[in-house]
Every structure is written in C-alpha cells, then in structure tokens.
Structure 1
Amino acid sequence: MPPALERIDRGRALFLWLSGTRPVQWTRPASGEGMLLTLPAGASLVGWAGLDGTPVAEAVGRFGDALVAASWWDAETQSYARYAPGAAESALLNHGDALWVELSEERRWWQSGTARSRIVFGKRVADAQKAELRDEMEEVVAFFAERYGIEPPEFTLSVVPDVPLANASLRLIRLGEAIDMQSFLPYALVHEYFHILQFDWAPRSLNRSEPPFWLVEGAARFTEGLYDWLREGGAEDRIRSVWWGQSLSVDVPLSAVEERDPFLSFGAPAYALGALASDWLVRRAAAEAAGVAFDPHAPGGLGVGPAWDAHIDYYRLRPSSFSWQTAFQDAFGIGVAEFYEAFAVYRAELAAERMPHLADDVDAPALVFEGEVGPDVAARVRAQFDELQALLAERLGSGPADYTVFAAADVESAAAAHLRVSGREAPQEFCGLWSPRHFVLNLGCNTHPITLLARHHATHVRVRLAPADSLPPLSEQLCSRGPCWLTPATDRYVEAVSRAGVGVETLAQTRNRSIEAARGSGQPLHALETNAGHGAVGPEIAHALGFLAAEWLAERAGERSLFEYYRLLPASRSWEHAFRRAFGIAVADFYDAFAEYRAAGFTS
C-alpha cells in the first residue's frame, strides 16, 4: 500500500474519489498570497493560486520549452481537458483549480496570488499605464522568484510626480509619473526591486551606504542586464558591450569608487562599470562551482539560477559576516585585493581588444580594418587617414586626437564592429557611426572615405576642446556650442580642405558648388542661428552658406581660428565673446560684412 498522506503541503492538489450519490460540500481556506513552487521533471498535480479568470496558456506559458503537457479539470464534462499550445482559445483558471503539469526538467513556478503588489498611483497616471505597470511589476517579481528562488518581501510601489526617474528605499520603490513605459520601465523596476531585496537581506549595511558602493549599484545594473537579455534575446555579449562602452568615462580604478560619493560623481558610467565588475565576479564564481577554468573573455556566460547567484549570496551573507570583505571572499571565492588586480587587467585587455587607441601611450588615432578589405583599398584609406591627421594638425591646428577608426568592407562588417564596441544594433544602412572614442566607417558607401574621416575628426576635436559640461550659458534656441550654422560650417570647411589635400576635389570646386547652392535662398546667415532657422532652409543651402562663411572667417583670421573658437569657448563669458576672440570681429559686424560679401556675388 502507498504511504499514508498525513500533511498537505501548500500548492499540492488532491485527487479525491468520493463514494455514494450525494454531493459533498468542502470548504477550504483560501490565501491571497503568492506561492513559489518547485516542480520536478515528470507529472505534478498542483493547485492554481493565481487570479480568477487566468488563461491556461498564460499560467503554464512560464515553463517555456520545459512544458511537455498540461491538463485541467473540466467540471462540465467531468474529465481532464488537455492544453494545446498555440490554440486560438484557452480555458480560464480560477483560484484553487487543479492542474496536471508534466515537465521535461525541474522548474520553479511563481503564482502571484490574488493579493497583488501594493501600488500607489498619482492622479495623472492613466488607467492603461496603471495596468501596464502592474503587469510589469508582476513579471519582475516572477523573474526573481523563478530564476533565483526569491519570494517577494512586502513592499510598496509608488508612482508620484516629484521623482525624476526611479529610486528605492526600505520596502518602497518610487517611480516618476513621466517614466518611459516602453523602453525604461521594465529595467527600472528590476533595478529598484533588486535594491528592495538588498535592503531586505542586509538593511543595516545598505542604510549606511556601506562600501563597496560599486557593488550596491553594479549588482542591480547587472541583474537589469540579465533581464534585458532574457526579455529581448540576442547575443549575450551585447549586454557586456553596453556596460563596457558606457564605463569608459570612469578613468580611475574600481577601488577608487568603493565609497558612495566618489561613485556617484561619475554618474551613469559608474553603474555600468559596477555591472561589468559584478558580471566578472558572478562568472568566476560559477566557473569555480563547476570546476572549470575561468576565462573572463569567453563569449556568453550570462547564466541565471543557483550556480549564477553569487551577487545575491553576497548580500545574504553580509549580515552574519565580520566585514564586507569577509562576505565578499565567501560569496565570490576571491579576496578583494586579488579581485581588484585581476579586474584591472581585464579592463586593460578589453580596451586593447576593442579600442586599440586606448592600449597605447600615443595620443593619436588608430585605424583598424574590418571584414574583407582589399589590399589596394586598405592602402588608399591608410594613406588618406595618415595625410588627414598631418593636414589637420599642421594646417588647421586641430590639436591632439585619440580615437579608433574601424574601416569596414561593407555594412555587415561595419554593423558587427559597431555592436562589438558599443553594444548597440546599427541601422540597416549607414555610412558612418561615431562616438567620442570610435568611428565605424562603412567603405561600401558612395561617400568618399576622406569626407567621413574628416567630419569625424572635426567632431572628436570639437568635443575634446569644448566638452559639454564646460560650456558657457547658451540660449535654448541655439545649438550646444553656439549658433547652429557654425559647427556644420567648420565641418564643411574641414571636409573641403581634406578632399583638396588628397586630390579628390579642389577648394575652388567646392566653393563654386557652394555659391551655386547658396543662390537658392535669400535668408540671411543670422537666421540660421537657431535649429528652426537652420532646418528651414534645407541641408544643401545651409551647408553651402556655412562653408562660405567658414571660408570668409578663415581668410580673415586664419584657418586655425576655426578650431581656436572651440578652444576658447569653455573659458569665455558667452559664445559671442569666444567668437570675437577667435575671429577678431564682433558677431554683428561679421553678419553685416558677410551680407555685403554675399550681395557682391561672394567676391571680395
């Protein structure tokens, strides 16, 4: 005989055979709490602890490929009905209904219960947003429950107008009403919910903002990345590339951002660096647990589950550990000092692999070819690249520049390079994609490479000479570094000089084309100061007038004055002040002189 059933565990369903012909009433206490079940491979009879009216497809869909079969009791037919994946219609489950579930492997199953998370909404939150937010919050809770076996603590989610984005404290997540529901909300909830769990596991250490603060925020950002990967799919290295690319602005060792204030002084890049460090630690701990050698550069490795939860173990261990360093050693299997040394090597190796200019001591751009670039094309591009650097430095006084150019044979190899160094997908068609540290050049474009190389160099130098956080106050109607015509004007002139320098097109040819195009509009140059005015005349006319204006300034004050303006801008009272110092003429006087020059057919 089978052993007697003396106790019914929570979540277990019962199959009862009743004798006789009279109906039997059985009242059972119902709990509105959520429930985390661990179901073995094979068949299990379980009770549904979720909301009434939940489609069977939604309930069992969480098992993914592990689901072999599922059946539910049909009271009308007095038999079990088998679930058909992909069926147009799905039966509805009510709280307390029984399910037969057959799995190919052991899985956790989170049932959210009927007592949903407490959410407080501001007055301006629409009903549709409320429903979406509830659904997203439940998905996040289920992610942590099913992937890591973490049942949710009590907490409140509050959506209020006085929060810019999101933050968390003990048992409270606060979101701003203006949060982007589509692209930002899911990951903000993961990040802040992880903080809720940190507070729950180790409240005293977090309330004191105990170091290492890069792990406090980095572990949350790391988990956010796991959620992104599981939700969106794609290569695992995409997430790691995002972290690495964003972390480049942190130009100090990881140990320098242990404390809260130094960490926060670097802003978002420090969060990315913390995620990269957390990723390294979790992968190392998982490799050690599996008894295999740890290679930090091995592809993939964004696992989730018991073997990949060292970042969670740390906070569970912290309250009972003598110090955070002790908990660190126990959770990750490596001492703090040894880790800092190994992680510094890892960062340097990533830099050498992904951005060659960061791996040398030379303050000069590096050129790397991607894909099957023929030897003749490579030689021509290399020659133009080298000549461009000398031309801009010596003739235009652009100053030092330090970045990497990835010259790709076609759009496919260009897109692969862009994904590798930035973690972002490239558009379907593009000629060039840039950041202050790199430029991906698609050699398959019709545009001559020298034009794109010159434009990127000018942009890089401009950002280096006049960083965004160093600029004087500017009108909101202007562009970031002054009038909206001036930066494109500098670019057009740099491109023209570069094309002339390698024999593609003479300055006279560029000038004649620009004069012809400029005749298509009577708008004065000062009307192009604003974004609206610059856009109103169209790119062809705007670029033509810009080149002619830059040429006029270069002839009057010297070609080096074009970059001198940006060099002077950070220390100037205003862009007009920098303009006068660089070009030797007041803005109003320049506009008058250029109008006369234009009226005379662009002849002196």
Structure 2
Amino acid sequence: MRLLRSGLLSAVVLVVLASFGEVAPAGATSSEEAPVVQEITTLLHPGLNEVGWVSEETASSALFDALPELIAVSAWDASERRARRALRGKYEELPTLKPGMGLWLRIGGSVSVEWTRPVTADGILLSLQRGSNLIAWTTSGEVANALSKFEGAVTGAWRWDPARRAYARYELDSSTAAGGLPQPQPGEALWVSASKTVHWWQPGTDRPELVFLDGVSEGKQDELIEDMEIIRAAYAEYFGVQTSAFTAYIGGSVEAIAPAYRQVTGRELPDVITRADPPETCGTVSSGAVFVLTYCAGIPSFTGKGATHILAHEYFHVLQQQLASDRGTEGPTWLLEGTALYAEHLASETFDPYSARQAASWGDGMLGNAIRRAATHWSEFPISLPDIETYSAFHTAEGIFGTYDHYQVALLGAKWLADRAGEQALADYYRLLPSVDHWHDAFESAFGISIADFYEAFATYPDELGPRNRVRGVVNGPDGGPLEGVRVTAHRLSLHGYRDYDARSFREAPIDVETWTDEHGAFEMWVRPGRYFFVVSRADPKPAIVDGALPDTHVSERECDLAIRTDRGLTGWSGPRESSDLYELVGTTNIWAAITIPSNVASFGRSFCAEP
C-alpha cells in the first residue's frame, strides 16, 4: 500500500497494490472487466504550454528524457503559493511529477511536438487549496457543470490559450467560455481559484470488483455498480480518500454469502450476522473483502436503496482498514462503527433519492434526521461510549433496541468529533494510527482533544442539541384489551412552520422516532420540537394516508396548534375530539393519549405539534 500525501497540489490518493478476495464462487457473476489503458496526445507548441500531468507518479528527469525539446517544467505549489521549476539536469526543486498537477512546459525550437502519455487508471483526487491552484483536467464535459457541485467554493477557472498567449476565464454560471474559448480536453490544465479547501475526485478506469451471488436481480446489480462509483466519489470529496482495491460479495441471503465468506477468509460468517433470522447485521468486512446482504432486518428498505446503504457503510470500513494498515481495529469500536454510520448517512444524499428529497424539503438529509433520532432517544439508552469501546461489548451489551442503541450513541460521538475537528478528521484518525504508539495519541492528534476530556464533554452533548417532549399512551384492540408489539412512529412534518400533507409528501416524511408498545399496550417516546404526524400500526404496512382535518385546538399554555387528522370512517384516537380531557399534559409540552385501533385497518394516525 502506498499513500500519496501532500504534493505540489496537495493531491491525496489511496492506492492499494494488492487486491483481496480474488476467489469468485461458482455461479457468481462479476462486475470486473479487463483493464482499459488510455493514452492522451497533446500538441506542444514552441514556447510556453500548459498541460496536466495525468500519468502515474514519475521522476521529473523522465519527462526530459521523453521530450528532447523540453527546456523547463514548472508547477504551482498551492500550499506555499509559489512556482517550483526543474531544468534539464537540475531537479531538486521539482523532483517528482504527481497525478493531478498542472504544469508549464517550455518547448524549444520552432516546430510543434506531439506528446503521447498514458493516463493513470486509478483516478485523481485533487485537494484544491484556498487561493490559486494549477490542476490537471482529466474529465470530459463543461467546466461550469463540473465545478457547480462545489456551490460557490470554486470562484474562477482559467485556461491558457497558446495561440493568443493569454488566459481566458470560463463563466461558471454558463456553458460558454469567455471570448469563445473551447471547453478543455483531458490532459490539459486549468487555473482554478477556491475560497476554501475542497476535494475534487476525477475518476479513472479502475473499479472495485462486485461479485453478485444468488438472490440479486440483474436490475439491482446494475444499480449497485453505478451506486458504488457514486459512493467512491462522495467519500473522496468528503474525506480525501478512496480506493478501488477491494472485492465486494453481494447476496440475497445468509446462505448465498456464507460460501464466499468461507472461501475468502477460511472462517464461518460471524455470529452478529447469523444469530437472528432475518439477520439484524447486514454486512461485514474481512480479509479486505466486503460482504453485503441485500435483504435483512437492518436495511432501511423503505428508501429502495437499502443495499446501497450497507455497501456505503462497509466501504468506509475498507478505507479505515487500508488507511490504518494492520492497526485498523485498534481504538474504540464505537468510533469504528460511528464514523462508518456517519459517512453512510452523509453520502446518502448522493445515491438515495429519498435522502436527497429530505435535504431539499427540510434542509438536511438522512444524517440530520439520524442525529435527531439518536439525540431524542438519548435518555433511553442504557449505555455510554466508554461501555462499548471493545468489539465484544459493542456487539453483545444489552440495549432497549439491541445493538441499535450502540450504533446511535456511536453516531452521536462521531457527530461531536466532526463538529469539532471537521469531517476529514474522521478519516485522519485512521491515517495517523500507523505512526503512533497508542490509539489515544492518534485520537488527540486528529480531533484536538484527549479521549478522557472527550468523554467528559460528550456526556451532556445530546441534551445540548435542544429540548425534548414526551409523548406516551396506551394502544387497545377492538375488544378494548391492550395490544403488545404495536409500532408507533413519529414523522416530522417541519421544524419551522406547519406544512399540510398529501399522499405524495407523506411518503417523503422522515421518521424521527419509533417505538413499540409493551405487554400493557403502553408506549412512550421523546420528540424534538417541531410538527409531527404519528402513525400507529399493528403490522408494518405502508401507513394510511389521512384526510379530513378538524378545527385546530390549543392544548398548552404555549398555544401549540393541534390539527387532528383521521382516516375516513374512523373515530380516530379515543376520547373527545376537541377536549383537553383527551390529553394529560405533563408540564406544558408533554401529552398522553389512549388509542384504539379499529378492526378494519392496519394503521392510522394524526398530527400535532410539540413546541419548545
């Protein structure tokens, strides 16, 4: 494994030379294709030329050997904001050319020269520094489109016109270039101005191998192949690291992936996957290979992208292991799992339309929703981060929702650290592990706080995220007796102001909190301030769409508007519809309700707000 650290463009690319999991079980299909070797030919004119270095890392002297007409090569050091130059026989200032560099080549003589060189298959990850950057252009398409994803962080782009011997600026808000300047071709270079440091992934031809086992349809295979590249790009740009050197085995059941796991690792599947039916744990990483179930209890199937979520989670574990070499499992298991869950949710807006719609409608996607859910449940979790440092404790300690508790607390820990040190620090911790004596040292270097001080500061963190409100009640059946195991979910309508539901928007509403009734039919949940729609389900079908709003009723001193909505033909929640007798207010924001599920429906609900 070799890690290309900060160079003249501070490019960061993780390249692993050895691929794991090369055994494909009989009957499996694979996404692996023959490697494609690409070449680029550039016409170099006498005088100054601006080009991109798109080949493997190479000594500067090799470029002079390949181009007898070359007089000088220069590159821009964005970190130090100065040019570095190499002359024939004098390479000390610029000894190495690295993928992603933009270069000035001064060609002697009076005749143009054709220069052909290979393109690296690994892809190029650029780290644009604040200020000016001279970078290689390896992609195709329009400059404005390629840079639009940085949402204003990239403020300008210029291209050298050798015929005019001048720079022309691209208009980043349109597809045309100033002065009729054409769009750049792969292998050319651009000057790019940035207002802050951003990562930019330009993919190559290398891809991880995805081996599809029984139970994965052709349509799902195509979808996962496409989604894998979206995830790689997202992690590269969020965390400054990527790799294609792994194999993923994807199957529709434990029986499908067990033989592949045995072939690759020489062991049986771990107990965390096999101990429940259906499995609660949906994926694992071992011997550098990823194993994913496309269906299990832990997959968020309502988004239609459940398997991609698991693939994203396990891919981050691959990055952790490869960054940390053989020390990837050192340190707290809550940090290992919490950062992977954070990364999965963070990237979900790029591959999951459900999360993207949440972000567009509510201002954040699954990450923000997951943080709120975890913080809301905080007081219910019977564990703390120090309790789940070890692998054994994390996966065996009892919680009210099994190991779901542990993942949620771990996610909050990762969120606290990302807020303090930045999201890239979540990967930097694993990058630092090989160079320290103890994981405590890597933790303090990456996050700027000792583990002891972090635990002390984190103890009150979820409460700092805002107030909570208690909702409790009893669910009875048609005969009046209590129902055990009924699912109650709180769907957030809005954090800022009321928004009516229709059939379309209801399916887009995120679930903030869920719980189940006990043997007495009782339930209790805590929700953050906002407006919610509550659904009560004896099974887990698609929730019923509601209509027929009744007049608003004030139910607290803070005049929280209560909008009762019920299914046609249902009496709704038991008790008077417009009477405070229906609610036992604890303080001013907590409510109690008795609920009766009619015999002819699976679920129903109503909405109200819980103001701070």
TM-score, with normalisation over the residues of structure 2? Answer: 0.50
1:268 Cα deviation after fit: 2.2
- Residue of structure 2 aligned with 1:33, choices 114, 118, 122: 122
Aligned to 2:334: 214
Partner SS for 1:25: strand
Whether the 8 Å contact between 2:293 and 2:307 is mirrored in structure 1 is no
Is structure 2 residue 344 aligned with structure 1 residue 344?
no
- Residue of structure 2 aligned with 1:446, choices 524, 546, 550: 550
Is structure 2 residue 191 aligned with structure 1 residue 110?
no
Is structure 2 residue 86 aligned with structure 1 residue 5?
yes
Report the residue type matching 1:173 in the other structure. V
1:222 Cα deviation after fit: 2.3
- Match runs of 1:489-500 below 5 Å: 495=574
1:119 Cα deviation after fit: 3.1
Partner SS for 2:230: helix
Whether the 8 Å contact between 1:247 and 1:270 is mirrored in structure 2 is no
1:276 Cα deviation after fit: 0.5
- Match runs of 1:415-454 below 5 Å: 436-438=524-526, 445-446=549-550
Is structure 2 residue 388 aligned with structure 1 residue 257?
yes
Partner SS for 1:202: helix
1:458-477 residue CA offsets vs partner (Å, 9 max, x unmatched): xxxxxxxxxxxxxxxxxxxx
1:219 Cα deviation after fit: 1.8
Aligned to 1:304: 423
Whether the 8 Å contact between 1:153 and 1:200 is mirrored in structure 2 is no
Aligned to 2:14: none
Is structure 2 residue 223 aligned with structure 1 residue 223?
no
1:360-390 residue CA offsets vs partner (Å, 9 max, x unmatched): xxxxx6xxxxxxxxxxxxxxxxxxxxxx99x
CA distance in 2 between counterparts of 1:348 and 1:12 reads: 47
1:413 Cα deviation after fit: 6.6
- Match runs of 1:25-104 below 5 Å: 25-41=114-130, 43-50=132-139, 53-54=140-141, 56-70=143-157, 83-85=170-172, 87=174, 95-104=186-195
Partner SS for 1:101: strand
Give the RMSD, CA atoms, in angstroms. 5.5
1:77/1:276 Cα in 2 relative to 1: closer, same or farther (>3 Å)?
same
Is structure 2 residue 431 aligned with structure 1 residue 316?
yes
1:80 Cα deviation after fit: 8.1
- Residue of structure 2 aligned with 1:157, choices 248, 255, 270: 248
CA distance in 2 between counterparts of 1:333 and 1:502 reads: 53
Is structure 2 residue 251 aligned with structure 1 residue 172?
no
CA distance in 2 between counterparts of 1:252 and 1:149 reads: 32
1:501 Cα deviation after fit: 11
Report the residue type matching 2:460 in the other structure. V
Whether the 8 Å contact between 1:167 and 1:192 is mirrored in structure 2 is yes
1:194/1:429 Cα in 2 relative to 1: closer, same or farther (>3 Å)?
closer
1:70/1:240 Cα in 2 relative to 1: closer, same or farther (>3 Å)?
same
1:105/1:191 Cα in 2 relative to 1: closer, same or farther (>3 Å)?
same
Is structure 2 residue 404 aligned with structure 1 residue 268?
yes
Report the residue type matching 1:140 in the other structure. I
Whether the 8 Å contact between 1:170 and 1:196 is mirrored in structure 2 is no
Once the two structures are aligned, what percentage of the paired residues are identical? 28
1:21-67 residue CA offsets vs partner (Å, 9 max, x unmatched): 755332324322222223345554433335xx555455434443133
Whether the 8 Å contact between 2:235 and 2:347 is mirrored in structure 1 is no
Aligned to 1:244: 375
More strand by share: 2
- Match runs of 1:267-416 below 5 Å: 267-284=403-420, 286=421, 303-305=422-424, 309=425, 311-347=426-462, 353-355=467-469
Partner SS for 1:120: strand
CA distance in 1 between counterparts of 2:157 and 2:580 reads: 72
Structure 2: segments with no counterpart, 5+ residues: 1-71, 73-82, 88-93, 258-278, 351-355, 397-401, 500-504, 516-523, 535-547, 556-566, 584-597, 605-612
Partner SS for 1:65: coil
Aligned to 2:317: 195
CA distance in 2 between counterparts of 1:493 and 1:125 reads: 42
Whether the 8 Å contact between 2:160 and 2:167 is mirrored in structure 1 is yes
1:21/1:191 Cα in 2 relative to 1: closer, same or farther (>3 Å)?
same
Report the residue type matching 1:200 in the other structure. Q
Count of equivalent residues: 399
1:191 Cα deviation after fit: 2.1
1:441/1:70 Cα in 2 relative to 1: closer, same or farther (>3 Å)?
closer
Partner SS for 1:38: strand
Whether the 8 Å contact between 2:328 and 2:430 is mirrored in structure 1 is no
1:249 Cα deviation after fit: 4.9
Whether the 8 Å contact between 2:158 and 2:170 is mirrored in structure 1 is yes
1:217 Cα deviation after fit: 0.7
TM-score, with normalisation over the residues of structure 1? Answer: 0.51
Report the residue type matching 1:243 in the other structure. A
Whether the 8 Å contact between 1:32 and 1:114 is mirrored in structure 2 is yes
Report the residue type matching 2:86 in the other structure. L
CA distance in 1 between counterparts of 2:372 and 2:221 reads: 33
Partner SS for 2:292: strand
Whether the 8 Å contact between 2:136 and 2:190 is mirrored in structure 1 is yes
More helix by share: 1
1:167/1:73 Cα in 2 relative to 1: closer, same or farther (>3 Å)?
farther
1:334 Cα deviation after fit: 4.3
1:509-540 residue CA offsets vs partner (Å, 9 max, x unmatched): xxxxxxxxxxxxxxxxxxx98xxxx359x99x
Whether the 8 Å contact between 2:322 and 2:328 is mirrored in structure 1 is no
1:157/1:535 Cα in 2 relative to 1: closer, same or farther (>3 Å)?
same
1:20/1:329 Cα in 2 relative to 1: closer, same or farther (>3 Å)?
closer
1:241 Cα deviation after fit: 0.7
Which has the higher relative contact order, 1 or 2, with Cα contacts under 8 A spaced 6 or more apart? 2
1:335/1:71 Cα in 2 relative to 1: closer, same or farther (>3 Å)?
closer
Report the residue type matching 2:332 in the other structure. P
Report the residue type matching 2:468 in the other structure. R
1:172/1:42 Cα in 2 relative to 1: closer, same or farther (>3 Å)?
same
1:267/1:88 Cα in 2 relative to 1: closer, same or farther (>3 Å)?
same
CA distance in 1 between counterparts of 2:293 and 2:312 reads: 15
1:204 Cα deviation after fit: 4.3
1:397/1:330 Cα in 2 relative to 1: closer, same or farther (>3 Å)?
same
Structure 1: segments with no counterpart, 5+ residues: 287-302, 358-364, 366-387, 417-424, 452-487, 505-527, 540-604
Partner SS for 1:33: coil
Aligned to 2:268: none
1:258/1:448 Cα in 2 relative to 1: closer, same or farther (>3 Å)?
same
